Amino acid sequence: MRGAFWPVPITHSHWLPGRVVSCKRLVAENRKFVTLAPAMIKRLFLLGLTNLAVIVLLTLVVSLLGLDQRLGFDPKSLMVFALVLGFSGSLFSLFISKWMAKMAYQIRVIEEPRNASERWLVETVREQARRAGIGMPEVGVYESPEVNAFATGASRNHALVAVSTGLLEQLSPREAEGVLAHEITHISNGDMVTMALLQGVLNTFVIFVSWVIGFLFDRLLTRRDDREDWGFGGIGLGFYVGRFLSEMCLGLLATLIVMWYSRQREFRADAGSARIWGKDAILSALRHLKAIMEHEPILDNRAPSLSAFKINGHSGGGLVALLASHPPLEERIAALERLQI
């Protein structure tokens, strides 16, 4: 079923006919979203502190067990190497995420609305951003038959919200508002930054541990003390085999953790949409998305790294569910139905 995409007034969702909402109440309702910033800073601080604690602990364990002497490497140097390499990739991806999204999807950013629909889209995002206590993000549209939208950007006040033409064509304005509020919640929660930091923590852990295992595997495989005869740089083939195998196993574990976090983000973004714009909007959108996916599932994978930030993404059952970036739509709908606002 296709719904006509037509502009509606912004007041549609928070003023009802015959009902007067006082300024005091509006301020009270919006204050809780503004207070998200300290909570996000605290979460990011704790995440960074956890990463540092894990690496320091691993370094101490390696030193106390004498593995650095037995295996012939400096754990402090390895720690610095793992931190730099682990975080550089994830942080670089975060800082270029907007540019990458625009290039991959050929997003047309709305600088000046050309018609009523674009004005509605920009003003809806502006009002939702105000309620969430964040800066006005860039708003863009990309050509795609998928019914989807996503948010990306390096910070809460320098983000991008993009919607597909498929979403604008197939969802009603009220449903589209619910989807937009979902993406605004991703931004206000700092999900892009948290995801990058989490990936950096896990990358650091995988690099550090896989290198230690590589050195250990090399020693066990060769059983020789004269490391200068083992090959280039005193490192033999066993190191590369051990490191490769451990990186594969630990990398899979890291992916499971990242995908688990991604699924939890979706539940929180759905709840945030309900609080910002009303539960009926996001519920109706998810039910409509479920019907569309059951009839004609279309997902645009031009930029797989951005799939975790879309309203609708890969999900599944059984073991596949562990690697899914999104929970099944029926689970998200059920969670919203239980939500008390």
CA angle, 329 as apex, 256 and 148 as ends, to 5°? 90
314 annotated ligand binder: no
Tell me the one-letter amino acid at 85.
Answer: L
Q: Is 143 annotated as a binding residue?
A: no
The active-site residue out of 183, 228, 294, 296 is 183
Residues in the chain: 341
Q: Report the distance separating Cα 308 and Cα 258, nearest Å.
A: 10
Alpha helices in the chain (DSSP H): 23-34, 36-64, 67-71, 75-95, 97-105, 116-132, 165-170, 173-188, 191-222, 237-277, 279-295, 329-338
Give the other-Cβ count within 10 Å of 16's Cβ: 10
Q: Nearest CA to 55 among 79, 78, 73, 74? A: 79
Q: Is 92 exposed, middle or buried (0-12, 13-18, 19+ CB in 10 A)?
A: exposed
- Would you list the DSSP string of 265-323? HHHHHHHHHHHHH-HHHHHHHHHHHHHHHHHS-----SSGGGGGGBSS----SGGGGGG
Integer Cα distance of 256 and 323 in angstroms: 6
186 is in an annotated binding site: yes
Closest CA to 170 of 270, 269, 265, 295: 295
Q: Which amino acid is at 232?
A: F
Yes or no: say if 37 and 136 are a contact pair by the CB < 8 Å rule.
no
First-to-last alpha carbon distance for the chain, in angstroms, is 30
- Find the helix packing angle between 237-277 and 191-222, rounded to 10°: 160
Do 279 and 329 meet the contact criterion of CB atoms below 8 Å apart? no
Active site residue 183: yes
Annotated binding-site residues for Zn(2+) read 182, 186, 266
Annotated binding-site residues read 182, 186, 266
Which amino acids are annotated catalytic? 183
